[in-house]
Amino acid sequence: MYGLVNKAIEQMVCGAHGPETWEQIKEKAQVDFEGFISNQPYPDEITYRLVAAASETLGAPADEILRAFGEHWVLHTALESYGPMMRATGKTLREFLQKLPHLHTRVELIYPDLKPPQFSCHDVSDNEMDLHYWTTRAPGLEPFVEGLLYGLGKMFSTPVRVELRQHREEGHDQSVFRVSWDAAA
Ligand code: HEM
C-alpha cells in the first residue's frame, strides 16, 4: 500500500502513545524505514506486520487497532489532507455512501498505482443501507471498513451502527455491511 497508509498508522500511534511506542512497534514488526514516503508504494505485508506488532505492543486485538485506524483515517488523514475531495463526495452520510464507489477513481489520479477496494451501496430503508466491499488483498480488513464507517458517521454527525452480514472469509467473494442510523438524524 502507498506510504500514506503506513504514515497514518504512525501518526495515530504517536498521537496516542508517543514516538517511543512507535519505535517499539516498528522493531517488533522488523520494519526499519525512517519515515514512509506518502506517494511511494510499499509491500502490503509491511502494513499487516505493523498492525500485528501494534496489537502485541498495545495489548489490544488487531481488529480493535484496525477499527481505530479506520476512524482515524476518515477524521484525520482524509479530512485534513483531502478535505475538498471528501466534502465533494457527499453532503450527507447517505449521499457519501452512494458516491463511495467512485471516490478511489479520483484518488487514482493522485496515486496511479493504487489497488483500490471496490464498493457498491444499496438502500434498504430510509435509515439503512447495505455496503458491499470487494478487495484483492489478504484477509482481515473488514474491521478497518467498520472503523471507516464509524468515522464517516462522526464526520456527518450521524452516529451509525454497523453489522457485518456477509463475510468474505466464509467463502464469499465480497463482504456486506448493514449500516443504519437513527431515523431522526
Ligand atoms: C480522499 C480520501 C481517501 C483517500 C486519499 C484514500 C486513499 C487510499 C489509499 C492510498 C489506499 C491504499 C491502497 C493502495 O495503496 O493500493 C486506500 C485503501 C483503502 N481505502 Fe481509501 N482513501 C480515501 C477514502 C476512503 C474512504 C472514505 C473509505 C471508506 C470506506 C476508504 C476505504 C478504503 C479501504 C477499505 C482500503 C483498503 C484497501 C483494500 O481494501 O484493498 N477510503 N485508500
User: 37-72, pLDDT tens digit by residue?
Assistant: 999 999 999 999 999 999 999 999 999 999 999 999
Substitution candidate for ligand 1 out of 51, 93, 107, 129 with most atoms within 8 A of CB: 107
**What pLDDT digit, counting tens, does each position of 67-107 carry?**
999 999 999 999 999 999 999 999 999 999 999 999 999 99
CB-based burial label for 179 (10 Å; 0-12, 13-18, 19+): buried
Whole-model pTM: value is: 0.97
Distance from Cα 116 to the centre of ligand 1, integer Å: 7
Ligand 1: residues with CB < 6 A are: 1-2, 4-5, 41, 74, 78, 82, 85-86, 100, 103-104, 107, 111, 114-115, 117, 135, 137, 141, 144-145, 148
Beginning with the edge strand found earlier in the chain, give each strand of the sheet holding 128-134 in spatial order.
118-125, 128-134, 175-181, 160-166
Residue 34 has a pLDDT of 87
Give the Cα separation of 156 and 159 in Å (integer).
8
Residue 183 has a pLDDT of 84
Instruction: Show the CA angle centred on residue 164, arms to residues 127 and 65, nearest 5°.
Output: 110
Give the Cα separation of 34 and 62 in Å (integer).
24
Phi, psi of 126 (to 5 degrees): -60, -25
> For residue 72, which of 59, 137, 64 has the smallest C-alpha distance?
64
Residue 137 has a pLDDT of 97
Percentage of the chain exceeding pLDDT 90: 97
**Mean pLDDT, residues 159-177 taken together:** 96
- Cell numbers found for residue 90: 457527499
Residue 120 has a pLDDT of 98
Give the Cα separation of 59 and 29 in Å (integer).
15
